[in-house]
């Protein structure tokens, strides 16, 4: 696995987007998002996902438009826009409404897939607000608890809290693995993790070619959360759910923003959170564990290490495909 200078990778992504007709502002947003995920050790949402760019651009329309608009909520039709661009616009709308109303909700439909929810939670928390974000990540990939057939998306959820330093962000899939793990295992020529993916016969498989479903994380409780997200980011915002989801444009996005000032805690919440997470980090670890972490610590450390070394590890096949993309050639990767 080669180690490539971060700036070289970023320029490669920007050139690949430029030859596909994206303006610099949008290309920068996308390149930084995919590269950031790679630097945080999340290749399933990083450069491997960037290889799907041609598929993501197929039905690009835009710009996003509000189809429902009030003081405290909005529904956005992204009109086929790239997910990162549409989500950034939707969170800008949300933040403005929260500052006016104290709490606001924004739903979004008709957008192409994006990666992490973290960047949009960070937009909310950096404005001093609390955020809860989720999206349906279909077509169906997750089997119901004790089931075999894929019926739900991998449905991530993100909680975002302001602090005196970096926001506290929790961003996780409610599948035991993201579906992009299949693409990444293929790129890296390795097996899938044990006891996570199901084949057509309902038995666990580590072969990315035979995986048909992924189990929910956390047993019945994770399954319940996955189902709740499917509904909140599906039927509630007029998006599709379950087997009705046929493409990436059928899923929905749902975000809630809360202003602590309206609870009278705007001056204290950041300090209280900092003190709390500091106490957690200083609490006693189990045997064999060096340090107790809070969510996001490991990703932050991986990114800091990459930035310090100015290098990022990239799978050989991924880098070869990225170099082709900067010349305008397709990566050969499609959405499964």
The structure tokens listed for 213 are: 């479903």
Q: What is the DSSP string of 243-294?
A: GG--SGGG-EEEEEEE-GGGGT-TTTHHHHHHHHHHHHHHSPPPTT------
Q: What is the 3-state secondary structure (H, E, C) of 71-124?
A: CCEEEEEEEEECHHHHHHHHHHHHHHHHHHHCEEEEEEEEECCCCCCHHHHHHH
pLDDT at residue 214 tops 90: yes
Residues 246-284: tens digit of each pLDDT: 999 999 999 999 999 999 999 899 999 999 999 999 999
User: What is the model's pTM?
Assistant: 0.93
Q: What is each CA distance from 61 to 64, 84, 336, in whole angstroms?
A: 8, 14, 22
Instruction: Please give the Cα distance from 124 to 94 (Å, whole number).
Output: 8
Contact 46, 314 (CB under 8 A): no
The residues, ordered by sequence, that sit 6+ positions from 37 with a Cβ below 8 Å of its Cβ are: 43, 45, 46, 49, 115, 116
Phi, psi of 191 (to 5 degrees): -75, 165
Residues 186-202: tens digit of each pLDDT: 888 899 999 999 999 99
For position 316, what pLDDT does the model report? 87
pLDDT at residue 336 tops 70: no
For position 75, what pLDDT does the model report? 98
For position 335, what pLDDT does the model report? 65
Instruction: Please give the Cα distance from 262 to 98 (Å, whole number).
Output: 10
pLDDT at residue 333 tops 80: no
Residues 91-113: tens digit of each pLDDT: 999 999 999 999 999 999 999 98
Q: What is the DSSP string of 141-209?
A: -BPPTT--S--B----EEEEE--SSS-EEEEE-SBSS-THHHHHHHHTT-PPPTTTEE-TTSSEE--TT
What would the mean pLDDT of 29-47 be, rounded to a whole number? 94
Residues 295-315: tens digit of each pLDDT: 999 999 999 999 999 999 998
67 Cα distance to chain centroid: 24
Q: pLDDT tier at 138 (50, 70, 90 boundaries)?
A: confident
pLDDT at residue 46 tops 70: yes
Neighbour tally for 212: CB within 10 Å: 16
What would the mean pLDDT of 217-235 be, rounded to a whole number? 97
What would the mean pLDDT of 114-119 be, rounded to a whole number? 92
What would the mean pLDDT of 204-231 be, rounded to a whole number? 97
Residues 25-34: tens digit of each pLDDT: 999 999 999 9
Instruction: Please give the Cα distance from 100 to 223 (Å, whole number).
Output: 35
Q: pLDDT tier at 183 (50, 70, 90 boundaries)?
A: confident
**To 10 degrees, the CA torsion angle through 273, 275, 280, 284?**
180
Instruction: Please give the Cα distance from 279 to 276 (Å, whole number).
Output: 5
**To 10 degrees, the CA torsion angle through 57, 31, 324, 141?**
-60
Domains of the chain, earliest start first: 3-58+300-325 (1.10.1530.10), 65-176+215-263 (3.30.1370.60)
pLDDT at residue 226 tops 70: yes
């Amino acid at each position: 696995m080669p180690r490539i200078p971060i700036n070289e990778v970023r320029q490669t992504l920007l050139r690949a987007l430029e030859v596909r007709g994206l303006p610099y502002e949008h290309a920068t947003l996308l390149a930084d998002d995919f590269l950031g995920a790679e630097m945080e050790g999340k290749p399933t949402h990083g450069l491997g996902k960037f290889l799907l760019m041609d598929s993501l651009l197929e039905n690009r329309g835009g710009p996003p438009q509000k189809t429902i608009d009030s003081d405290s909520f909005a529904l956005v039709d992204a009109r086929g826009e790239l997910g990162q661009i549409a989500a950034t616009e939707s969170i800008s709308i949300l933040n403005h409404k929260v500052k006016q109303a104290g709490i606001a909700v924004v739903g979004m439909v008709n957008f192409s897939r994006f990666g992490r929810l973290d960047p949009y939670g960070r937009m909310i928390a950096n404005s001093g607000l609390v955020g809860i974000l989720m999206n349906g990540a279909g077509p169906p990939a997750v089997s119901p608890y004790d089931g075999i057939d894929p019926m739900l998306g991998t449905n991530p959820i993100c909680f975002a809290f302001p602090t005196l330093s970096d926001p506290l962000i929790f961003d996780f899939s409610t599948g035991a693995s993201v579906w992009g793990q299949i693409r990444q295992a293929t790129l890296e020529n390795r097996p899938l993790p044990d006891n996570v993916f199901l084949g057509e016969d309902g038995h666990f498989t580590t072969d990315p070619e035979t995986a048909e479903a992924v189990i929910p994380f956390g047993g019945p409780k994770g399954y319940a959360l996955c189902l709740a997200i499917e509904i909140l980011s599906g039927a509630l915002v007029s998006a599709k759910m379950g087997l009705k989801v046929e493409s990436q444009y059928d899923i929905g996005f749902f975000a809630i923003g809360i202003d602590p000032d309206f609870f009278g805690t705007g001056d204290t919440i950041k300090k209280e959170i900092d003190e709390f997470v500091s106490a957690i980090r200083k609490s006693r670890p189990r045997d064999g564990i060096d340090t107790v972490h809070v969510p996001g610590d490991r990703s932050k450390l991986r990114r800091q290490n990459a930035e310090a070394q100015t290098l990022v590890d990239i799978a050989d096949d991924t880098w070869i495909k990225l170099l082709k993309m900067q010349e305008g050639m397709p990566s050969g990767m499609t959405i499964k």
